[in-house]
Amino acid sequence: MGNEVENHEEHRAEGVGQHGRSGSEPGNVTTRIRARYGDAAVRGGNAVGCESVIAERDTHLPFMTFLKDDPELSFDYLVDVTAVDRLQLDEEIRFAVVYQLYSYKHNRRFSVSVPVPEADPWIGSVVSVWPGANWLEREVYDMYGIVFEGHPDLRRILMPDDFGSHPLRKDYPLHGKGERDNFVF
Amino acid sequence: MGLEDQLQENVMTTKVDAMVGWARKNSLWPMPFGTACCAIELMATLASRFDLARFGAEAIRFSPRQSDLLVVSGRVSIKMMPVLKKIYDQMPEPKWVISMGACASSGGVFNTYTLVQGVDQYIPVDVYIPGCPPRPENVIQALIKIQEKVAQAKAN
């Protein structure tokens, strides 16, 4: 019993207890990206204890492929695809598509954020990289109206096909625009 | 009437409506439309502790064509409402509907863009059960109310 407590405290002292076993010292992912793409590619940093970068949408597809295929990174598991509507935040570009990645090989997490402008809301689909992105991207399309170019089956996934709005956008009212009272069937 | 005197206690006379109503109310075949936690309470009502079989309504059918009591137990979204309507339409007459719980009756706490604010906007409801979710006693009470209504219905 006494030993367990001691070990626990040791872990806390090293600063790795909170986020689980990190598998490697922090900074390795961005170091590797910097080596491949240069300093300009590494914007973002260490948000809420998870390494992250902000990528450009024009080049994000080969970048994501690199994150998966590079043996030093090997992010083989796409945990989640979601988006942020920064309408009420002080951001120049309204949307950001966020990818949460995990590497089974290195037991390491990483986050990629890609800004997407409101006027032209598209981004390349990563279904060809991680097939599991299929439904996740459909949900983002459904909720935010961001079009995933190259997606094999980009339909709404939660709302009815004829819904017409994208309800997680910040300018969409909580009670909707009358859809719940005026739908036909 | 005189007839009883002749036949004595071998035969009981009544009206067709009363006899059919008595038969129907004691052999309701519920169609569960369970979409949320209310369905769990409905299952508890059916199970041995509360035992809906005491009221002749234990023969749960998952086919609307074999049912005469629709129990809407849970949230119904605008994507689900056409399904519910179709199930209701497929049930043969005569049929009755219980709206179980706050969500089915009024939308409950889900006053949002996607949730139907009460299924009675689209299908006729006979008995509403309040609660979130209602206890099995409430469900039994609703079934007794339905039985009263069924007993009064015309035979044809």
pLDDT for the residue numbered B6? 76
Task: Tell me if A180 and B79 make a contact (CB, 8 A cut-off).
Answer: no
Contacts with B113 from chain A: Cβ below 8 Å: 165, 167, 172-177, 179-180
In a domain, B18, yes or no: no
Q: Are B44 and B73 in contact (CB under 8 A)?
A: no
Q: Measured over all CA atoms, what is the biggest interatomic distance in chain A, rounded to whole angstroms?
A: 67
Nearest to B120 by CA among B139, B100, B90, B149: B100
The minimal CB distance from B85 to the residues A167, A176, A185 is found for A185
Confidence band (pLDDT; 50, 70, 90) for A46? Answer: low
Mean pLDDT of chain A: 82
Nearest to B70 by CA among B44, B111, B23, B104: B104
The sign of the torsion formed by the CA atoms of A50, A56, A57, A63 equals: negative
In a domain, B16, yes or no: no
From chain A residues 103-162, the ones with a CB under 8 A of any chain B CB are 158-160
CA distance A158 to B9: 64
From chain A residues 75-114, the ones with a CB under 8 A of any chain B CB are none
The sign of the torsion formed by the CA atoms of B138, B144, B145, B146 equals: positive
In a domain, B64, yes or no: yes
Mean pLDDT of chain B: 91
In a domain, B1, yes or no: no
Domain count for chain B: 1
Contacts with A177 from chain B: Cβ below 8 Å: 113
In a domain, B61, yes or no: yes
Please determine, for residue A7, whether its predicted confidence score (pLDDT) is greater than 80: no
Which tens digit of pLDDT belongs to each residue from A62-116?
999 999 998 888 999 999 999 999 988 888 899 999 999 999 998 888 999 999 9
Confidence band (pLDDT; 50, 70, 90) for A170? Answer: very high
Range of the domain at B140: 29-152
> pLDDT: is A35 or B68 the higher one?
B68
**Tokens in use for A3?**
């030993």
Q: Which domains does chain A have, with CATH numbers?
A: 18-126 (3.30.460.80)
CA distance A176 to B111: 10
The enclosing domain of B73 has a CATH number of: 3.40.50.12280
CA distance B144 to B133: 18
- Say what angle helices B16-25 and B136-152 make with each other, to 10 degrees: 160
In a domain, B111, yes or no: yes
Confidence band (pLDDT; 50, 70, 90) for B1? Answer: low
pLDDT for the residue numbered A47? 64
CA distance B21 to A118: 63
Which tens digit of pLDDT belongs to each residue from A111-149?
999 999 999 999 999 999 999 999 999 999 999 999 999
Please determine, for residue A17, whether its predicted confidence score (pLDDT) is greater than 90: no
pLDDT for the residue numbered A12? 40
Taking the alpha carbons at both ends of chain A, their separation in whole angstroms is: 64
Three-class SS state of A141: helix
Confidence band (pLDDT; 50, 70, 90) for B154? Answer: confident
Interface test with B, best of A168, A169, A171, A180 (most B CBs within 10 A): A180
